[in-house]
Amino acid sequence: MPSGPATAGPIGVETTVVTSGLEAPWGLAFLPNGDALVSERDSGRILRVDSSGNTEEVQRLPEGDSREGGLLAIALSPNYEKDRLIYAYYTTTMDHRVVRFRLGDEPEAMLTGIPVAGFHDGGRIAFGPGGLLYIGMGDAGKTSNAQDLNSLGGKILRITPDGNVPPDNPFRDNPIYSYGHRNVQGLAWEAREQLYAASSVRTSTTRSAGSGLAATTAGLRLRAWVATIDNDR
C-alpha cells in the first residue's frame, strides 16, 4: 500500500492533431489495421478515422436524453478479427446499457437497467484479464447507489462477452465486481493484472492528479488512481 500521495515532476507531452470537427468525442477503439473508431457522445455516431485523419460514419446508435450520457465507451471484442463484434455503452430514455453489434447491424443488449441521470453516468468499458468485460459506472447523482448492492450505479461491473455473470464474481449471479464508486470513467491493468480505476472526486480546495489509493471492496483488492477535480457537484 502506498505510504502517501504519488509525486512526479513535469512531463513533456507532444500532441498531434489527427482529425478535427468532431462533436463531443468520448470513446476510442483501434481496429486491427490501425484505424480508430471514435464515439460521439451527443450525436450517437461512431466514426472511423484513418491514419490521414479522414472520417466516415459507420454506425449510429439511438440518442438518449441525459446531459452527461449518450454514446460513451466503445470496445472491440477480444476476438474481433474472427467475430467482428463491437461493444458500446450508451444512454436510452430508460437506462444506460451495454450492447454489442457488427457494423451495420442492430445492437444486441448485453446488460440493461443501469441507472441514468443528468450527471455521474460513468460509461467506460474495457476487456480485461481472461477476456471479461469490465464496466465503469457512476452513481447517477445518488450517492447511496454506490453502497447499494441492489443498484448497478456506483460500481465496476464484470460480465462475460455474452452478457453472463462469471462464476467467480464476488456475488453469486450478480455482475457487481466492485462497489462504493462515485463516477468511474477509466479502467486499465498493469502487467500483474492489477486493476486501476479512474474516477472524478469532488473537492473544494485542490486540483490534482496522482492520489494513489488502495481500496478493499467486496473482498477484492483494487488500486484506484484518482483525479481530484474542482466542480460544483
* 35-47 residue pLDDT tens: 999 999 888 999 9
| pLDDT band for position 3 (cuts 50, 70, 90) | low
pLDDT value at position 122?
Answer: 77
pLDDT value at position 201?
Answer: 60
Mean per-residue pLDDT for 74-80? 96
Mean per-residue pLDDT for 208-232? 36
| Predicted confidence (pLDDT) at residue 226 exceeds the cutoff of 60 | no
Classify residue 17 by burial, with Cβ atoms within 10 Å: 0-12, 13-18, 19+: exposed
The larger pLDDT score, comparing residue 61 to residue 211, is at 61
pLDDT value at position 143?
Answer: 85
pLDDT value at position 116?
Answer: 79
How open is the CA angle 139-61-89, to the nearest 5 degrees? 30
Residue 80's SS3 state is: helix
Q: What is the average pLDDT score of the chain? A: 81
CATH T-level fold of 25-182: Neuraminidase (2.120.10)
Instruction: Tell me the domain boundaries of the chain.
Output: 25-182
The larger pLDDT score, comparing residue 192 to residue 156, is at 156
pLDDT value at position 164?
Answer: 96
* 84-112 residue pLDDT tens: 999 999 988 888 899 999 999 999 999 99
* 169-212 residue pLDDT tens: 999 999 999 888 888 888 888 877 888 888 876 533 222 223 33
Q: pTM of the entire structure?
A: 0.81
CB contact burial 80-91 (16+ within 10 A = b; e otherwise): beeeebbbbbbb
pLDDT value at position 230?
Answer: 29
CA atoms within 13 A on the CB side of 35: 12
